[in-house]
Amino acid sequence: MFYVITIDQIIHWTQLLYLLLAAVWLGSLPFVKRTVQKESISSALQHTVVVGIGFYLLFGSPSTPDWFNQSLFTVTFPIALAGLVRCEHSRPRKHYSYSRSRSGANLPAVAQ
C-alpha cells in the first residue's frame, strides 16, 4: 500500500510546524539573556514604525486590497514540498563562530 501525500496535507503540516516554531520561540523568552547592544532612539522608532505599518497591513486594514490574497506562485506539489522543507530548516540551531588561536588556527567556538 502506498500513502498519497496531497498538497493540502503539506500546507497543513507546514502551518503546524510554523506554529510549533512560534510556540518554542515564545516559550523560550524567559530563559534567554537580554541583548547587550542598545539601539539609538531614532533606530528604535524607525523599527517600530515599520513593524507597526506591517501589522496594520496584515491585521488591521478593514479593506484589504485584492492583490493581497493573490498567490505569487501556483501551489504545485514541488512548491508545497519546498515550503515544508524550508519550514523545517527554519528551526533554531546553535551557531558557530570561528576565532583564531595563538597558533593562528581557526577554532570553532559555540556562540553564547
- Output DSSP code: residue 110: E
- Distance from C-alpha of 32 to C-alpha of 76, rounded to nearest angstrom: 39
The pLDDT value recorded for residue 90 is 63
Task: Compare 68 and 26 and report the one with higher pLDDT.
Answer: 26
* Residue 3: pLDDT band with limits 50, 70, 90: confident
Q: What is the pTM of this model?
A: 0.47
For 48-71, the pLDDT digits (tens) are 999 988 888 777 767 767 777 777
The pLDDT value recorded for residue 112 is 47
Q: Above 70 in pLDDT, residue 17?
A: yes
